[in-house]
Amino acid sequence: MLAVRVLGTAAILFILSIVVFSMLHLAPGDLVKTLLGTRPASPEAVAAIREQYHLDDPLPVQYLRWLGGVLSGDLGQSIRLQTSVADAIGSRLGLTLALCGLAFAMALVVGIPLGVQSAVRAGGVIDRTGTALGVIGLSAPTFAVGLLLLYVFAYYLPIFPVYGGGRGPLDTLYHLVLPAVTLAAGLGAIVLKLTRTAMLRELDADYVTSARARGIPESRTRRLALRNAAIPIVTGASLLLTFLVGGTVLAETTYALPGLGTLLQDSVLFKDLAVVQALTLLVALVIAVIALLADVAYLVLDPRVRAQGGAA
Amino acid sequence: MTGIEVAIDGIAGPAGPMVEALAFAIEPGASLALIGESGSGKTLTAKSLVGLLPPGFGARGVLRVDGREHPLVSTDASWRRVRGREVSLLLQDPFTSLSPVHRCGPQIAWTLEAKAGRRLSKRELDEAVATRLAEVNLPARVARAYPHELSGGMRQRVAIAAAIASDPRLLIADEPTTALDASNQAEILDLLRELQHERGMAMLLISHDLGLVRGRTDEVLVMRHGEVVERGSTATVLSAPEHAYTRALIAADPALALEADHTGDTARGLGHDDGADAGGRAPLVAASGVVKRFGLRTVLDGVDLSIAPGQIAGVVGESGSGKSTLARCIAGLEREDDGTIAFDGRPLAPGRRSRTPEQMQIVFQDPYSSLNPMMSIGAILREALAVGGRRPDEVRALLELVGLPVDAAVKRPAQLSGGQRQRVAIARALAPRPRLLICDESVSALDVQVQAQILDLLGRLRDELDIAILFISHDLAVVRRIADTVTVVWQGRVVEHGTCAQVLDDPAEDYTRLLVAAAHRDSTGRTPVG
Amino acid sequence: MTASLGAVGVGFRSGRRMPASIVVCLVLLAVVLLAVLFGPLLFPDATKQDILSSLMPAGSPGHPLGTDELGRDILALTVAGAASALVGPVCVAVGSMLLGILLGTLAGYERGPLDFAISRWTDLLLALPVLLAAIVVSGVFGGGYWTTVALLVLLFSPSDIRIVRAGVLEQSARPYIEAAQMLSLSRWRVMFRHILPNVSSLVITNAMLNVAFALVAFSSLSFLGVGVPPGTADWGRQLTDSRAIMFDNPAAVIVPALLIIVVACAVNLVGDWLGQRMTRSGGLA
């Protein structure tokens, strides 16, 4: 089963690589001009560009050459930054990872317990508050939440820095708190909803009734239900990822953080296509890997699927 | 005072009172059966005794265990003293009452720890779990298995071990065998009885099936619409029922009817047991050598079947025997891999394309999903009438034919009861005037009383319309009531075929004898010799 | 027991009373709808720039919410922005719903190679993060508001296709569909008369939720400077433009930000409520 998934993932990545490669050729405007960027379009420069990008070769050859480069780590040059794309991404990767990690941790720490409590006392005060927060978190766009938080914390409660990435690990972390909270609002709402729904269903299951009826303490019963609920929660993780990818761009833009999100936005607006291509591929790869990990987690969590997978 | 005393003042739900006042007592080691159809309030009664009523429901009353008093309106904290130690609950479905992602051992161990009130060492637990498993006749290695690795009967044994691991004074068993097949049912009930005697544990057995409790419980309480209509010792209630409802239950229970039939004093089936009329006319349907595979599994392995016009042909077998697949191949809903199916002498190609609505129609098992919930009954029937080239105003006649009031036409399926829906399904099937009606477990999802009514209806329709019926069922008693001929199917093959009386009263094959014996034991509580 | 209780609620009309929160949401959405319809009449020149009256704080005479850097009146701009905020998302939701019904029903009922092709297509699209794909595609390839609508229809459709397909598959396995096949009804009649009404509550609920998501996606795109051209009256655009003047006239940021949040929440809540109500009322017993 897993082998099939790996093959499927590889196929999707292959198709995406073609799409991403075509981006350069399908983008409106003169290709050479786009590749030249701000340099003057002298005949020599144009010739150099045509030579450098092998634009006179047939498209499949160009694709294979490009793919070969990508696979060996050569992602091309950024016109805007005048550096290699790999360097541009490398220097910003850390901040984005830290932001996502922090937001993810916050979302889990708040979302899961709140989701469990909401399900345990469905209809109670915690549940209703949680549901209300969840709706806001799910529907409010990251940047709108971010700007409101920015206003509150810059104006009324100036305890967090409002712009920039900070210097040194601790200062960076400090600068990331507010953006991470912003991002975690949406993430947490998804976690809360997944957890609540899964827990509600599990708590209603016969095995929970049966456990309660034979005197098993409530704390153990809840752990039992949560262990069963883990399966749908983990399978729902792809939702988190989809949100995180878009949310990071918005959160970084809102707080002017020099991460991959702002890199993407600037590159898109500047038509710095090599960077856009590289980032798109990177995101696709991350999504594919996480989806595979979720499948593996599913196998680990559910003995029934494990048994079938073993037999097949 | 030892034993269990229950005095319920009433149970109410969001829609008002659900259960009236009722009281009963059970001696240590004794058992009481609470009998009622769905909606009678029997499950609410059971859940109120462990404080696990669904949200929105509340019970007033008191539970006394060996003189210790526990009010039914109580906090979770005080219920914790009752659950497990005083009362434990065994649920119907062993497929859902155990956590699917935990091994069986720990699930029993939790009860043990809950009772001990402390963590136990791994060695202590392993030993105790092995002992508990041995008590329910399971080997110690079951502790390391996941529930899905066990058969239904084994799972229910694990569930029993888990439920009584806290040594409760009262075990409430809520339909403990309904989800199991016939051979497991008796074993589980006998095991419960045994465990009860060994431990001096009282048992409250909840069931919809009056036949099941014969010889297995000391007393019976019959409930209807939240009220107790009859109570007494099991033998007395079954042999001399006082209330009309109890009498109706007994009369409608095919298992008890079968029992009565054997003692030779009641009810003959609806079938024309002549057997002659089957031979007299050319067959309407003739299937020969039908083979059907699903992947690697061969479900039908060369089945022959013929149905004469106007005949009711019963096909019996356990679940998975292939009987439904046979019906679906004849109907064209499945495509057979080999063999021929001829209708009125002409062979039909596999699939629906070669068949017309006027040839055959089917009535399914589940009356809840066999009608389009978004269409009114009238619209459903008009659509079917149009297919048969009949006028829309014949809806009224069609409803009358199946014994439904005319105003049913404007209702939606959700507004009808299960039995009424099944009548609509029959009416729809009859609308194109088919010559063969296929009933695929058509009464299995219905209450016993409704079952009897639908069987009567089918018998009457055969007589009035001269329609042939292919009647598929797992229930021998039901088939005996209605069929002219019986075909026994086992593992995709025909084991035995003949008239109803021949096959069921004097089976020639071992497998048939086994089936008949299981049905018989089911209703008497003892295994017949031979 | 549950079965008998479940069978009580029948038809949409006999549902319970509308909760207060839903009434509030509906009123709010009605107000926004009025702004969409009559905004252009009330403020015909909302996007007119007037450098002389730039950066006026809220409460200034003639400008209750003040003005932005370019001297545009915040109230007028916000009212005018309602159209851009609502029209696109509704079109996206309806468009992807229609695409979903068509492709989902075909895939679910016909099965076979058609189903395989449609399913792989949805798999591929579902693997794309909507916002990122929209940023890249509209950023790189350009195109205005309606290009973005078309793009989002494409990106939103997989969820509709999947929901319809799953619903159709689930319904097709039900005996009432086999009963329809026993009557030899045509496939179109089975698909559209029998199956589709039974999945409609799922589809409509999802469309409502899609309106909320599309609203967020649209405003996010304009916030990032993609999708709508500069100078358009649009809440997301307003936020980017006014971010720098947050401390001169906070209303320029707070009002559109809150509006986006509140409208998105309202649509979401109404969608959820509608969904619950329709499922309860029996379409999908």
Chain A CB contacts of B165 under 8 Å are 214
Task: Provide the angle, in degrees to the nearest 10, between the axes of the packed helices A260-270 and A85-120.
Answer: 120
Residue-level pLDDT at B1: 67
* Residue pointed to by tokens 């839903």: C22
pLDDT at C60 over 60: yes
What is residue B330's predicted lDDT score, i.e. its pLDDT? 94
| Interface contact flag, A135 C123, Cβ < 8 Å | no
Q: Residues B493-497: what's their mean pLDDT?
A: 91
| ipTM attached to this prediction | 0.82
Instruction: Express each pLDDT in B170-216 by its tens digit.
Output: 999 998 887 777 677 888 898 999 999 999 999 999 988 777 788 78
What pLDDT does residue B264 have?
A: 38
- Average pLDDT on A221-245 reads 86
Specify the pLDDT at position C281: 55
- Interface list for chain A against chain C, based on CB atoms closer than 8 Å: 8, 12, 15, 23, 26-28, 135-136, 138-145, 147-148, 150-151, 154-155, 241-243, 245-247, 249-250, 253, 264-265, 268-269, 271, 273, 276, 280, 283-284, 287-288, 291
Q: What would the DSSP string read from start to end of A14-53? A: HHHHHHHHHHHHHSSS-HHHHHHTTS---HHHHHHHHHHT
At residue C2, the pLDDT reads: 34
Q: What is the DSSP string of B295-345?
A: TTEEEEEEEEEEE-TT-EEEEE--TTSSHHHHHHHHHTSS--SEEEEEETT
Query: What pLDDT, on a 0 to 100 scale, did the predictor assign at position B308?
Result: 92
Task: Give the pLDDT confidence score for residue B240 in this predicted structure.
Answer: 86
User: Which residue in chain C is spatially nearest to B42 when comparing CA positions?
Assistant: C1
pLDDT by residue (tens digit) across A110-149? 999 999 999 998 888 999 999 889 988 888 889 899 888 8
| Chain C CB contacts of A200 below 8 Å | none
In whole angstroms, give the CA distance from residue B306 to residue B304: 7
- State whether residue B46 sits within 8 Å of chain A by CB: no
pLDDT above 70 covers a percentage of chain C that reads 91
pLDDT for residue B265 is more than 50:
no
| pLDDT of C47 higher than 80 | no
Beta-strand runs (E) in A115-243 = none
* Separation CA B446–CA B367 (nearest Å): 9
Predicted local confidence at residue B253, as pLDDT: 60
Predicted confidence at residue C226, as pLDDT, reads 83
* Spatial contact of B17 and B57, defined as CB atoms under 8 Å apart: no
Q: Is the CB of residue C186 less than 8 Å away from at least one CB of chain B? A: no
Banded model confidence at residue B280, pLDDT cuts 50, 70, 90: low
The residues, any chain, with a CB within 8 Å of residue B15's CB and separated by 6 or more, are C5, C8
Strand partners, B316: B473, B488
Is pLDDT at C12 greater than 50 in this prediction?
no
Query: A291 to chain C: which residues are within 8 Å by CB?
Result: 127
Residue A69's CB: how many other CB atoms inside 10 A?
A: 12
- Determine, for residues C141 and A155 on separate chains, whether the beta-carbon distance falls below 8 Å: no
Please check whether residue A196 is in contact with residue A130, taking contact to mean a CB–CB distance below 8 angstroms. yes
pLDDT > 70: percent of chain A: 96
Q: What is the pLDDT of residues C117-139, one digit of tens each?
A: 898 888 878 777 888 888 888 88
**Average pLDDT value for chain C:** 82
The B residues from 83 to 142 touching A (CB cutoff 8 Å) are: 83-85, 87-91, 93, 96-102, 110-111, 114-115
Q: Does A311 score more than 70 pLDDT?
A: no
**In the 8-state DSSP scheme, what is residue C183?**
T
Side-chain-side CA neighbours of residue B514 (13 Å): 12
pLDDT at B507: 85
B115-132 pLDDT per residue, tens? 888 888 999 999 999 999
Answer whether A211's CB lies under 8 Å from A202's CB. Answer: no
What tokens does A62 get?
């160009």
Average pLDDT over chain B reads: 86
Residues of chain B with C-beta less than 8 angstroms from the C-beta of A215: 80, 83-85, 88, 111, 114-115, 166
Mean pLDDT, chain A, whole residue set:
85
SS3 percent helix, strand, coil of chain A, rounded to 5, is 80, 0, 20
The identity of residue A303, as a single letter, is: P
Per-residue pLDDT at B254: 52
At residue A115, the pLDDT reads 93
pLDDT score recorded for residue A110: 93
**A2-6, A60-64, A294-298, B408-412 — which is least confidently predicted?**
A2-6
End-to-end CA distance of chain B, in Å?
Answer: 45
Looking up tokens 């007393």, which residue turns up?
Answer: B219
Residue A77 DSSP one-character state: B
The nearest CA of chain A is from the CA of C205 a distance in Å of: 15
Query: For residue range B54-111, what is the model confidence (pLDDT) as tens digits?
Result: 888 899 999 999 989 999 988 888 888 899 889 999 998 888 899 999 999 999 999 9
Partners of residue C268 in chain A, C-beta under 8 Å: 135, 138-139
Residue A300 has pLDDT above 80, yes or no: yes
pLDDT of residue B410: 92
User: Smallest Cα–Cα separation from B418: which of B23, B38, B20, B48?
Assistant: B38
The reply to whether B65 touches chain A by the CB within 8 Å rule is no
Per-residue pLDDT at B273 exceeds 60: no
Residues in CB range of A23: below 8 A, 6 or more apart: A273, A276, A277, A280, C136, C140
Read off the pLDDT band of B249 (50, 70, 90). Answer: confident
More confident residue, C141 or B430: B430
**Of the candidates B331, B368, B374, which has its C-beta nearest C182's C-beta?**
B331
- The pLDDT, as a whole number, for residue A260 is 93
Q: What is the architecture, at CATH level 2, of domain C64-280?
A: Orthogonal Bundle (1.10)
Provide the pLDDT for residue A40. 75
- Among B254-268, B357-371, C63-77, the minimum mean pLDDT is found in B254-268
What digits encode the pLDDT tens for the residues A32-91? 777 776 677 788 888 887 877 777 788 888 888 888 888 888 888 887 888 888 999 999
Chain A residue numbers touching B76 (CB-CB < 8 A): 218
Give the pLDDT of residue B106: 93
Report d(CA A290, CA A244) in Å as an integer: 12
Q: Which residues of A touch C139 (CB under 8 A)?
A: 268-269, 276
